[in-house]
Structure 1
């Protein structure tokens, strides 16, 4: 086999649909695997603690003068 026939054979092999499918499948599988390995869960947001509303002191009752 001379170099010209080897090049034609290589091009025919690379154009085959099975080779293209396996290449795309392998690349996507590696990308998904890389994503899973590098995935880090975001830390949960700290919840804001609501300050309790200040309790109002009871108003003193108005003293009424009683006529005696």
Structure 2
């Protein structure tokens, strides 16, 4: 179960849970490959958690929201 960030917040940012997961998984792969993080500090330690936090902090924006 996802406790932080909350799924409702992610759906608000991305439009759907599916979009949030796709966006986060693509970003997590980039982080895993060595991309620099977009936040100063993360609560989570895993790449997927970091990607979800970037979405919540508006550092990672879905393309259709631009």
TM-score, normalised to structure 1, is 0.29
Q: Which has the larger Rg?
A: 1
Give the number of the structure whose residues are more often helix, by fraction: 2
TM-score by length of 2: 0.30
